[in-house]
């Protein structure tokens, strides 16, 4: 087994002022609980794919879940330290969301950190329900960037003991509104403002094209101008906190009273998701597999069927001296899995196709690469 530390080196290390939800997410130790695909709004920048949008399904990470027993099983499989509840909008399935929070807290204890996203300024009395269920942190997505209509709900959440903040995408064509928003939320009972780099995805590409957005580089899904605006906003908040002149207009401002975090599109994919894959891979790696730096699992495979698999496995053990525990029969794909080095050694000496296989360490073990090692066959 390849050893990975519980706290891997981070390309963008957590700031000491980041929320616990952000810190655990950056470590890759948070379960992503997609509670429902239903939402009351149609944001043109929504990144959801058609397979999840407006569909009342529940997923834990990449795994489709029928109930919370499945969710708990997935949390154990990745050794999660907490969960982030998202959607759609979790308030569109409020009772299910409350049940999920309660079940996870009961199963894993009070230290299991749970944060939730919502764009709904819900009834203030519901804040107590979420707090009693065990919700630790809530992040409000301000629709149309209007803060005032969330005031009562935000205050109720904060007063209920839930760490409360705002999380929104940084839209580069709304610079003046977003800069003004810093002053608007100054008067709200929020502890943090998280800015996400606006992403251009398969789910929102057409809408983003209509708004004139292009990718900032060839290696990121971030929209051009989003990162620059977020950095300006962060610089303003930091200058005010330090009592320094604003780097943009030179004005000295009073501290805003909240922490501003900027999360890039690259880091969400190459950082957070990769570390979650690494964590799950470490927890579930088989003796014949190798865990890569990208968080994928690599192994060799020989095509076989039910009638010949035992004979092949016996021959492999006898010819290579390999312990039987390093061989695994995959009935779904009709192949014998083995260490890649063994597959490379036998490839030219056997008739059946022999391959190098790379999979994601998810519940479904999605195959991302297959390379044929003996050239007389075509990969299936």
Task: Say what the pLDDT of residue 5 is.
Answer: 37
Question: Mean pLDDT over residues 200-225, rounded?
Answer: 72
User: pLDDT tens digit string along 156-179?
Assistant: 999 999 999 999 999 999 999 999
- Can you list the domains of the chain with their CATH numbers? 20-284 (3.20.20.70), 290-372 (3.30.70)
Cβ atoms of 313 and 327 closer than 8 Å:
yes
| pLDDT of 9 above 60 | no
Exposure letters 135-173 (e unless 16+ CB within 10 A, then b) = bbbbbbbbeeeebeebbebbbbbbebebbbbbbbbbbbe
User: 215 falls in which pLDDT band (50, 70, 90)?
Assistant: low
Q: Pick from 303, 277, 298: which is nearest to 357 by CA?
A: 298
Question: Mean pLDDT over residues 365-378, rounded?
Answer: 84
User: 218 falls in which pLDDT band (50, 70, 90)?
Assistant: low
User: 339 falls in which pLDDT band (50, 70, 90)?
Assistant: very high
| pLDDT of 228 above 60 | yes
Look at strands 30-36 and 328-330 and give their pairing.
unpaired
Better-scored residue on pLDDT, 284 or 202? 284
């Amino acid at each position: 087994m390849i050893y990975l530390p519980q706290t891997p080196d981070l390309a963008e290390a957590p700031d000491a002022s980041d929320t616990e939800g952000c810190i655990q997410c950056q470590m890759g130790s948070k379960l992503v609980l997609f509670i429902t695909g239903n939402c009351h709004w149609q944001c043109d920048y929504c990144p959801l794919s058609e397979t999840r949008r407006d569909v009342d399904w529940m997923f834990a990470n990449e795994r489709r879940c029928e109930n919370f027993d499945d969710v708990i099983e997935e949390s154990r499989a990745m050794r999660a330290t907490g969960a982030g509840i998202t959607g759609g909008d979790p308030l569109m399935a409020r009772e299910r969301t409350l049940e999920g929070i309660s079940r996870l807290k009961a199963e894993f204890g009070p230290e299991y950190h749970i944060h939730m996203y919502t764009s709904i300024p819900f009834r203030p009395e519901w804040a107590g329900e979420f707090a009693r269920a065990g919700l630790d942190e809530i992040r409000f997505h301000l629709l149309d960037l209007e803060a005032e209509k969330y005031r009562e709900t935000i205050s109720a959440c904060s007063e209920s003991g839930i760490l409360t903040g705002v999380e929104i995408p940084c839209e580069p064509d709304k610079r003046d509104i977003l800069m003004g928003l810093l002053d608007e939320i100054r008067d709200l009972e929020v502890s943090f403002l998280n800015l996400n780099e606006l992403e251009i995805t398969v789910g929102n590409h057409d809408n983003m094209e209509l708004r004139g957005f292009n990718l900032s580089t060839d290696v990121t899904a971030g929209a051009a101008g989003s990162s620059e605006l977020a950095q300006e906003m962060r610089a303003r908040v930091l200058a005010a906190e330090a009592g320094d002149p604003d780097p943009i207009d030179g004005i000295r401002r009073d501290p805003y009273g909240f922490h501003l975090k900027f999360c890039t599109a690259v880091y969400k994919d190459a950082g957070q998701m990769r570390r979650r894959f690494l964590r799950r891979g470490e927890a579930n790696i088989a003796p014949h597999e190798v865990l890569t730096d990208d968080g994928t699992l690599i192994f060799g495979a020989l095509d076989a069927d039910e009638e010949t698999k035992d004979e092949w496995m016996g021959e492999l053990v006898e010819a290579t001296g390999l312990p039987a525990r390093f061989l695994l029969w995959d009935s779904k794909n009709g192949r014998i899995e083995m260490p890649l080095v063994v597959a490379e050694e036998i490839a030219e000496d056997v008739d059946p196709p022999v391959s190098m296989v790379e999979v994601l360490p998810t519940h479904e073990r999605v195959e991302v690469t297959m390379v044929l090692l003996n050239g007389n066959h075509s990969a299936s």
